[in-house]
Each structure stands twice: as structure tokens, then as C-alpha cells.
Amino acid sequence: MIKRRSPLGFMNAFLLFMLGLMTVYPFYNIYVYAFNEGLDSLKGVLYVWPRKFTFDNIVKALTQEGIMAAFQLSVLRTAVGTLLTLVCSSSLAYAMTRREIKGYRFFSTYFFITFIFSGGLIPFYIMIVKLHLYDTFWVLVLPGIYSFWYMIIFRTFFDSIPKALSEAAAVEGASFMHIFVRIMVPLSKPVYATIGLLAGVNYWNDWFAGLFFVKKASLLPLQSLLQKVMNQTDMISKFGLVPGDNTLTQTVTPYSIKLAIVVISITPIILVYPFLQKYFAKGMMLGSIKG
């Protein structure tokens, strides 16, 4: 028997389709321009498909000085930072599920206060210098490994796991750490995938640390270097030149270089997201609602 849809159902489907289209199309349009000949893009608006398909913009963006090294550094930074964030946030969250431990109220209040109030940029800069993190790889990683929000999601998820499992393991002689590693972690794949995706996106998109805490060109992450390249294209766009070139380009324009840079920076995250999407909604719900 075919189920008939009501007019309201069709209206909801249409509204959701239009909302999805308005969300996805701007990203798609960036790809259209990035893979279209730069000079041809100046002739008129592109909507669905490049008029003159080319890889010149991507190749020119990738051949900018230091781009590949910065890309490799950002991949390493994202991988290490995401791993440390998961370990730090989940282990702290599991400790905070043990409300019988001494000092629980103090630490709970302490973490909440530091989440609400910040010391500001200048004290943070001084702390980075005093800890000898300035102009090192770890300044790109360590400041972001703790998040109060991530910890709360992990803790709520752990609270939703039946206490009988950990109590039974404790009766059999399992230690606190053994229960966490062998029971809690395997049962928490959805929330680990969710927090891992959020942390990875934050590390990949962060340009702030590279701008303020790094001087060495070899330590510039991809986003910071791309911002520098985009600023250079802004400065010389009126001359029709591309950074690194001393002659007028035939097909590549500063605007097409900008869009190619955007494509390079967002594509890795877009490719990773579908593999974690099935965990995302489940992890967010289970980590947000106790029951």
C-alpha cells in the first residue's frame, strides 16, 4: 500500500530542499570558479559548470612557496591535536563522573569558571612565552587540547552508560583505568567520532596561533600561510600579477587564486566528514541528554 503524503509534508520537503540548496550551493559555486579559467570568469557569472575547465588555478596555488610544507604541517598538527584532545577531554570527563572523589565540587566549579571567564590575549601570550612554547610546534597543539564543552559532552555520555557494567568489572578486580580503557572507550565510539570531528575542524581552520605565536616560516600552518598569500594577491591584484610571478598571467587571476586557495583549505575536511557523519547525530544526542 502506497502511503500518500499530505500537502504539509510536501511543503516541509520543499522547504528542507531549498534550505539544503542555499547551504550547499555557495560551496559548490566556489569549486566552479576555482576550476574555471581565471580570465574567462571575469566575462560573466558562472552558475552550474565551468565554461573553460582548467586545473591552472589549483596548480598555481599549490606551487606558491611553502604551501606543501604548510599542508603537511597542518595535517600533522590536526592529527596530533585531535588525538590529544580526545585523550585529555575523555579521561578528565570520566574522572568527573566519580562524584564521590575528594574535591569534586572544587574542580567542577574551577572548570566552569575558567569556561566563563578568560584572562585575555596578553596574559595568554605571556603564559605561552614563560612555558617556552613560543615559536615551537607545540604552540599550535597544546593550547587547544582542553575544552570544557567537550568534557561535558563526554561526561554526560559516560553517565548514560549503566553503572552495573563498571561495578561488575570492579568486583572482578578491574582498576579505574582498566574500566575506562576496556569498557567506557569501546562503548563511546559515537561521541569520540563527534568530538574528534569538531576538534579536527578547529585545528585545521585555526589561523590565530600561526599569526601571533609563530615566527619561523617552516612552522606556519596552512591557514596562516594561505591568509598571507591571499593578502599578497590583494596587494598586487591591480597590477594583474600573481605572487611569485614577475610577468602578466594569461589565464590565472588573483581572484581565481583566492578561490583555489579556499578549495585547497576546505576540501580535506569535506572529504573526512562523510565517514564520521553516521556517528555525528548519535554522538551529539547521547552526549547531550542523560537518560
Nearest Cα neighbor of 196 from 108, 286, 84 is: 84
Structural domain count, the chain: 1
Q: Helices 189-205 & 222-236, crossing angle to 10 degrees?
A: 30
Instruction: Specify whether the backbone of 206 is left (phi greater than 0), alpha (psi in -120 to 50) or beta.
Output: beta
Inside any domain, residue 34 = no
119: domain CATH number is 1.10.3720.10
The winner for highest mean pLDDT among 93-102, 122-131, 273-282 is 122-131
Q: Which tens digit of pLDDT belongs to each residue from 50-77?
A: 888 888 888 888 887 778 888 889 999 9
In angstroms, the CA 207 to CA 61 distance is 18
Please, what's the b/e burial string for 204-225 (b: 16 or more CB within 10 A of its CB; e: otherwise)? bbbbebbeebbeeeebbbbbbb
Which region among 1-5, 16-20, 172-176 has the lowest average model confidence (pLDDT)?
1-5
Q: Which tens digit of pLDDT belongs to each residue from 105-156?
A: 888 888 888 888 877 888 888 999 999 999 899 999 999 898 888 998 898 8
Residue 4 φ/ψ, nearest 5 degrees: -85, 135
Inside any domain, residue 10 = no
Inside any domain, residue 55 = no
> What long-range pairs does 130-133 form, CB within 8 A, spacing at least 24?
133/213
93, 151 in Cβ contact below 8 A? yes
Inside any domain, residue 80 = yes
DSSP assignment, residue 174?
-
Q: Which domain holds residue 113?
A: 64-288
Inside any domain, residue 56 = no
